[in-house]
Structure 1
């Protein structure tokens, strides 16, 4: 078999110039990329975004998901670093939980599985002025299996709460960082 006539001759010059233009624009745009958590990414409150996230004070949040959310945020924002550091920002959140039953075993009337829906409504404000720096509402869903054994169902529900809190913390950290970028 032989190659088609266009492949023998090579690519048409218009295609090559289009490819060269696309590669050149990609190379130029690549220089504009700046990582969100880099030391030289400046924040709206001064300093780098990474340091601005360390300056967020996270008080206790009501509820079990709130407790786990606070722990995850402290770890993700500060890494458990300097406890005596003066905080310039304050995080406030309220957590709402709901349960959605997915499947029901009709022979005994029990739910076989459920989905925990955790909603966090949160704000980050400046400590002195109460000016809102970042805010949002984040929703996550954590499915789990329900069993006829009570302890297994309780443990599965607890694990779903922990997973929901971890996912909320990741989403909130990303949104806060994006909102804190200057320019």
Structure 2
């Protein structure tokens, strides 16, 4: 066998060895979703979609609030609707506020807004139904920019579209907030194991190695 053949075989062996090492390294890596199950060894209780699906969303007071509620129910239940036996309840107080964007000068030499910013804000209270305990409360808001056409009906349509977009984004934000708050509320920390003086003396008797 020539030296070039031996060099080629050694090169192939090194390549195979590198691939095997890479596969072993990848085998030790795991990817976990943000809302997926977590091992108790990680220091928290198992948390999955069933917990989010146990949240009841209180009725809304207006159209924009209903948009937020509908999307939030879909996100929490995975499209299955409200839970039949809810464990938690979230109350939302939704409001839509419009502010003007940049202005332009028209032929009549008057300043009219050419765009706007729609802010959809909600106060929320997350409660455990059985005990009435308030797990979390706060305020979250989302903004959506939109153009204001000169035609009145088109302008109304643009405002409603902006409200709907902001409502959907707020529902997604609220799902994240609920998941974070419930994870914190249901997580537990393993208690530290503390030995008594008698146990320490028994453990460290002469003739036996001390353990730490």
TM-score by length of 1: 0.74
Which of 129, 132, 135 is 1:133 aligned to? 135
Provide the C-alpha distance between the structure 2 equivalents of 1:137 and 1:88, rounded to a whole number of angstroms.
22
Aligned positions, number: 155
> Segments of 4+ in structure 1 off by > 4 A?
none
Corresponding residue SS for 1:86: coil
The 1:58–1:49 alpha-carbon spacing in structure 2 relative to 1, beyond 3 Å, is same
Point out the structure with max Rg over C-alpha. 2
Contact 1:56–1:88 (8 Å) recurs in 2: yes
The 1:90–1:41 alpha-carbon spacing in structure 2 relative to 1, beyond 3 Å, is farther
Partner of 1:36: 34
Contact 1:68–1:165 (8 Å) recurs in 2: yes
Provide the C-alpha distance between the structure 1 equivalents of 2:114 and 2:66, rounded to a whole number of angstroms.
27
Partner of 2:178: 176
Partner of 1:86: 85
Provide the C-alpha distance between the structure 1 equivalents of 2:33 and 2:76, rounded to a whole number of angstroms.
16
Gaps of 5+ in 1: 1-26
Provide the C-alpha distance between the structure 2 equivalents of 1:80 and 1:41, rounded to a whole number of angstroms.
26
Gaps of 5+ in 2: 1-25, 189-212
Corresponding residue SS for 1:177: helix
The 1:80–1:34 alpha-carbon spacing in structure 2 relative to 1, beyond 3 Å, is closer
TM-score by length of 2: 0.64
Q: RMSD of the TM alignment (CA)?
A: 2.7
Partner of 2:207: none
